[in-house]
Structure 1
Amino acid sequence: MIESIIEKSVKNKALLLLTLLIAAFLSFWAIRQTPLDALPDLTPPQVIVNVKYLGQSPKIIEDQIIYELTNALLATAKTKTVRAFTSYENAIVYIIFEEGTDLYWARDRVNEVIQNVSKNAPKNATIKLGPDATGIGWAFEYALTSKNRSLDDLRSIQDYLYRYALLGVEGVSEVASVGGFVKDYEVTLRQEALYKYDLSIDDLMNALSKNNNDLGGRVVLENGFEQIVQARGFARSLDEIAGITIKTVNGIPLKLSDIADVRVVPTYRSGMAELNGEGEVVGGVVVVRYKENAYKVIQAVKEKLASLHVNDVEVVTTYDRSDLITKAINNLKRALLEESIVVLAVVMLFLLHFRSALVVIIVLPLTIALTFLCMKLFGLESNIMSLGGIAIAIGAMV
């Protein structure tokens, strides 16, 4: 059979060269399109559901939400396992589906369950889907440091500038914020003032919710221009919150500052972020979307971070998986170069024939390129295991 292949190849040199050129072109395209990552994704199809119920214990969250949610999820098609973990104010539910299940099909089924369970859940509880990523989606981390800004300022910059900017990068599923303090506006009531003016906590809550809002009116045509009428009541500072009118007493407005103290306080937190033992910082964790090219996404994230400039804020990269990907690719290049040099030296030494050595040197990179083409056709990504296998195969071929 081999003799027949060789004979036909010799007789059809033009066709053989054309086939090799087409294969080389397709292989080069496959190398450019094959997703690059450092770690192989061995995780089964998995969907995460986050539950938040402010101020409640794990037992209450489990009894009022998790029990119904997990039972409904177990009845979902192709569900294999459902695991739930509850803590103070939070719960996480992992839904493992059968192998081969499309992740986005699974997310649609889980979302249907969430919509049904949410109807019976407490009003203050929120149930939402987690990011469309796998267990190895955690690909890039950074920290925000500053010499003059406080931790709550850095957290606000992270939540409202860096996070939203990075979420717009193609391939990014989620940007999680860690560390720092989340601002809360706290109203501390004076008991004697409540008794004096005959007020309840519900009265204050209703007044705050109704007054802290912008209302739209209508459009007035004036001199050929449309003037938009709008009542602005949305509070933008502590003074504006303190100036909200609660009620009128003998024709005099009773303001919130007359019966309470308003101040900014940090939200309760159960952890912190520290950088190299030098103190607390605020950080961000970038999660890459399912089936995306992790290397390209990380490069795009770094370009976006470089384009964002905030005075007295420095961005420090704390974890970058692209470095590991680059090292794996460089290792394959080095192995190919070393093996090619060894083959050239051995063939030249024993055969003293450069063309024979050239045949082997051309076949080696072409074989690797065809391997990437097959990986692309079968939906396999390039990672440490696959690149390491190719490097070993080069030695076996030689």
Structure 2
Amino acid sequence: MFKLIIETAVRHRWLVVFMAALIAAVGLFQLGKLPIDAVPDITNRQVQINTVAPALTPEQIERQVTYPLETALAGIPGLTTTRSLSRNGFSQVTAIFTDATDIYFARQQVAERMREASEDLPDGASPMLSPVTTGLGEVLMWTVDFTTFDPAKLAKPGEAGWQAGEVYRTPEGNLLRTPEERATYLRTVQDWIIAPQMRSSPGLAGVDTVGGYVKEYGVHPDSARLAAHGLGLADLVTALQRSNVQAGAGFVQRAGEGLVVRADGLALTTDDLAQAPVATRNGVVVRVADVADVDLSRAPRLGAASRNGHEAVLGTALMIAGGNSRTVAQAAAARLEQVNKSLPADIVAAPVLDRSVLVNSTIKTVARNLTEGALLVVVVLFLLLGNLRAATITALVIPLSFLFAVIGMNRFGISGNLMSLGALDFGILVDGAVIVVESTLLMLGQRRAELGRALTAMERLRVAADSAMKMARPAAFGQLIILLVFAPILTLEGVEGKTFHPMAATFMLALIGAFIFSFTFVPAMAALLVREPKVKDGDAHAHDGEHETKLIRVLRARIEPVVRKAVAHPRTVLAGAVMMVVVGIGSFSLLGREFMPTLDEGNVAMQALRVPSTSLEQSLAMQLALEKAIAKQPEVETVFSRTGTAEAAIDPMPTNISDSVIVLKPRKDWPDPKLAKDALVARFEKLAGQQLGNSFEFSQPIELRFNELISG
């Protein structure tokens, strides 16, 4: 088989070169479509059901919401396990499927079971599916906040913006005087202006929001006034429901026109609710305002957000599962910049964490390492082969094999990340090509020595084919052994499989490409470009046509005596080898171990934990004090946090836990640019330790999520 392939490649050498160029072109095209991320996503196939029922205790949530939903999922094809949590007013059920299960099929099955079970849930409990995203899907985060109040830059009276006395006037004319009112308005801006526009950004599964307050109308009954009118709380609730409806009554025809008939009773303002009738007493209408106080209020919340020591609203763009985090984050950032133009005066949505920055930095590092490795291989090849054309042909296998692997990565859904691209070893990839090219140079020199003249074109073609066929078996066996070494990695499952499959698959794809090119492209190019080496007079191997570079001759002179001594004393060499193995095993047992190499993300993540019974407001107050202390550090650009559970509940934290991200300035802007990051984190930890009632864990944003995914 190898004989046929090699002879065909040499005979149709220009066609082989064209096909190689075509593969390179397709690979470059596929490279632009390759999903790029910093690390592999280890999230399993899961579907989450979130239910909010503020009136229920954890025991009631478990018994009336979580248990019915979780048991309803039993028997779904591909379902491996379910897990759940029940907190005060919140339930989450997570259904985990096999990796072979299509995520959209799984969501459809869960939605059908959820719809059936929802009929038996308490009133007001409406279960919803989480967005189609993963644990590492948070590609862009931004805070919605007011600009800093400046008495010298106030808005004109009657216009939206900051007014005198640190009062904010909304475009609707409302005056926001308290921090709670301003936080409520920021949440309204996020929910009704920013989020709808951000959802149209390509590649997003949804937009998550945490912080601020959801605006609602509050009706505060007065029991004394209710009793004075002979009314109860049920009468007030019924009146509110009856006065906040709308209904249609078809249409009537008049003078050839169809006029729609409808009754619109929706309450649009607090006055509409206040004037709603409750009952009639002695011919006098008793209205809601007569028995209760009506005002703008705030819904109970499960989470809060803050930045630099004050409360804000945090928005997060959630990438759809399997998306390209780099392009999705860049598109979301561009859309957010457009959205800012439509925001009310003195309100800004500022990005605080952009995944594309980290991905670009990671890819830049990987690309630099790959380039330096490739150049090093080329230099070594030239020094050892002593033939620029031969070294160039061998080096061309590197980009061709890489582009071949890129095509396969796109085909099998493998993202380009630190694990997959960082696994490429160019020295191993060119091993087969080096053997073929070296054999070609050797046989060309031998053939020239036999004939005593320069070879003709047909003679070079014959030698190129014969040398490749001669080396086909050892080269093939060598690369096959390497493939077999990596094959067991593909059998890993779970977190280990998702972590190391990309590495093994990418390397095997590149090695397969190198194997193909070694016996097609390399012989064809050798037949076209490589000439027999000219043996200099006085060369020790001139009689057999063998060509050696100066470097090889120097190395041979140094190594050959050592080899002869080793052959002469085999037992001594064996004893030394055994001793080295023993020392190596002992040294290995003393090495530290970690699941995967640590990626320096540039920023620091800080998780603060408090007593489990801590309320959200108390936890937020403690977090604000902590942020103020951290934000004063000269290396810190900004600090933002989320406390409790966000709207999408991708990471449903209790109210006593806060996740913070400390965004650092560029190292050149630090007072001491040479300061080690570990030393800086140690200073943060010491500073945070001065805040009573907290315990802390420092890591990095993606690393923190990665550890949470591993632990489940």
Pair in the same fold by TM > 0.5: yes
Decide which of 279, 286, 291 is 1:254's aligned counterpart. Answer: 286
Indicate conservation of the 8 Å contact 1:35/1:293, yes or no. Answer: yes
What is the deviation of 1:6?
4.9
Please give the alpha-carbon distance, in whole angstroms, between the structure 1 residues aligned to 2:115 and 2:250: 36
Please give the alpha-carbon distance, in whole angstroms, between the structure 2 residues aligned to 1:67 and 1:205: 30
Please give the alpha-carbon distance, in whole angstroms, between the structure 2 residues aligned to 1:387 and 1:357: 24
Is the counterpart of residue 191 in structure 1 residue 223 in structure 2? yes
Decide which of 374, 381, 392 is 2:415's aligned counterpart. Answer: 381
Farther-moved stretch of structure 1 (349-358 vs 233-242): 349-358
Q: 1:20 to 1:180 in 2, by over 3 A?
A: same
Give the residue type in structure 1 aligned to 2:66: I
The corresponding residue for 1:51 is 51
The corresponding residue for 1:108 is 108
Please give the alpha-carbon distance, in whole angstroms, between the structure 2 residues aligned to 1:144 and 1:115: 35
Indicate conservation of the 8 Å contact 2:73/2:113, yes or no. Answer: yes
Q: 1:143 to 1:248 in 2, by over 3 A?
A: same
The corresponding residue for 2:243 is 211
Give the residue type in structure 2 aligned to 1:379: G
Decide which of 309, 318, 322 is 2:356's aligned counterpart. Answer: 322
Q: Sequence identity of aligned pairs in percent?
A: 30
The corresponding residue for 1:284 is 315
Farther-moved stretch of structure 1 (69-78 vs 113-122): 69-78
Three-state SS of the structure 1 residue aligned to 2:105 is helix
Please give the alpha-carbon distance, in whole angstroms, between the structure 2 residues aligned to 1:303 and 1:247: 55
Give the residue type in structure 2 aligned to 1:305: L
Indicate conservation of the 8 Å contact 1:141/1:319, yes or no. Answer: yes
Give the residue type in structure 2 aligned to 1:57: T
Deviations 1:33-67 (A, max 9, x none): 22222221222211111122221111011112222
What is the deviation of 1:287?
1.4
Farther-moved stretch of structure 1 (43-52 vs 220-229): 220-229
Q: 1:63 to 1:349 in 2, by over 3 A?
A: closer
Structure 1 runs (4+) deviating above 6 angstroms are 1-4
The corresponding residue for 1:122 is 122
Deviations 1:335-369 (A, max 9, x none): 34323443554556666654334334433222211
The corresponding residue for 1:295 is 326
Please give the alpha-carbon distance, in whole angstroms, between the structure 1 residues aligned to 2:298 and 2:366: 50
Farther-moved stretch of structure 1 (108-117 vs 359-368): 359-368
Indicate conservation of the 8 Å contact 1:336/1:365, yes or no. Answer: no
Decide which of 343, 367, 376 is 1:342's aligned counterpart. Answer: 376
Q: 1:21 to 1:225 in 2, by over 3 A?
A: farther
The corresponding residue for 1:144 is 144
Deviations 1:3-40 (A, max 9, x none): 76554433212211221122122212321222222221
Three-state SS of the structure 1 residue aligned to 2:311 is coil
Give the residue type in structure 1 aligned to 2:245: N
| Structure with more of its chain in strand, by fraction | 1
Indicate conservation of the 8 Å contact 1:84/1:93, yes or no. Answer: yes
Three-state SS of the structure 2 residue aligned to 1:91 is strand
The corresponding residue for 1:365 is 399
The corresponding residue for 1:313 is 347
Structure 1 runs not aligned, ≥5 long: none
Indicate conservation of the 8 Å contact 2:218/2:298, yes or no. Answer: no
Three-state SS of the structure 2 residue aligned to 1:365 is helix
Please give the alpha-carbon distance, in whole angstroms, between the structure 2 residues aligned to 1:342 and 1:98: 43
State how 1:22-171 maps to structure 2 within 5 Å.
Answer: 22-147=22-147, 148=162, 150-171=182-203
Please give the alpha-carbon distance, in whole angstroms, between the structure 1 residues aligned to 2:229 and 2:32: 73
Please give the alpha-carbon distance, in whole angstroms, between the structure 2 residues aligned to 1:321 and 1:86: 32
Return the index of the structure with the highest Cα Rg.
Answer: 2
The corresponding residue for 1:237 is 269
Please give the alpha-carbon distance, in whole angstroms, between the structure 1 residues aligned to 2:44 and 2:144: 34
Indicate conservation of the 8 Å contact 1:328/1:387, yes or no. Answer: no
The corresponding residue for 2:662 is none
Please give the alpha-carbon distance, in whole angstroms, between the structure 2 residues aligned to 1:20 and 1:263: 73
Please give the alpha-carbon distance, in whole angstroms, between the structure 2 residues aligned to 1:341 and 1:34: 24
Indicate conservation of the 8 Å contact 2:140/2:333, yes or no. Answer: no
Question: Higher RCO, 1 or 2 (CA under 8 Å, sep at least 6)?
Answer: 1
Please give the alpha-carbon distance, in whole angstroms, between the structure 2 residues aligned to 1:39 and 1:131: 21
- TM-score normalised by L of structure 1: 0.90
The corresponding residue for 2:566 is none
Three-state SS of the structure 2 residue aligned to 1:316 is strand
Three-state SS of the structure 1 residue aligned to 2:301 is coil
Indicate conservation of the 8 Å contact 1:34/1:376, yes or no. Answer: yes
- TM-score normalised by L of structure 2: 0.52
What is the deviation of 1:177?
0.8
Give the residue type in structure 1 aligned to 2:326: Y
Give the residue type in structure 2 aligned to 1:211: S
What is the deviation of 1:238?
1.5
Indicate conservation of the 8 Å contact 2:65/2:91, yes or no. Answer: no
Three-state SS of the structure 1 residue aligned to 2:371 is helix
Q: 1:119 to 1:219 in 2, by over 3 A?
A: closer
What is the deviation of 1:333?
2.5
Indicate conservation of the 8 Å contact 2:139/2:325, yes or no. Answer: yes
Farther-moved stretch of structure 1 (225-234 vs 249-258): 225-234
Indicate conservation of the 8 Å contact 1:154/1:180, yes or no. Answer: yes
Indicate conservation of the 8 Å contact 1:39/1:136, yes or no. Answer: no
What is the deviation of 1:200?
2.1
Q: 1:377 to 1:218 in 2, by over 3 A?
A: closer
Indicate conservation of the 8 Å contact 2:205/2:319, yes or no. Answer: yes
Is the counterpart of residue 331 in structure 1 residue 365 in structure 2? yes
Indicate conservation of the 8 Å contact 2:377/2:427, yes or no. Answer: no
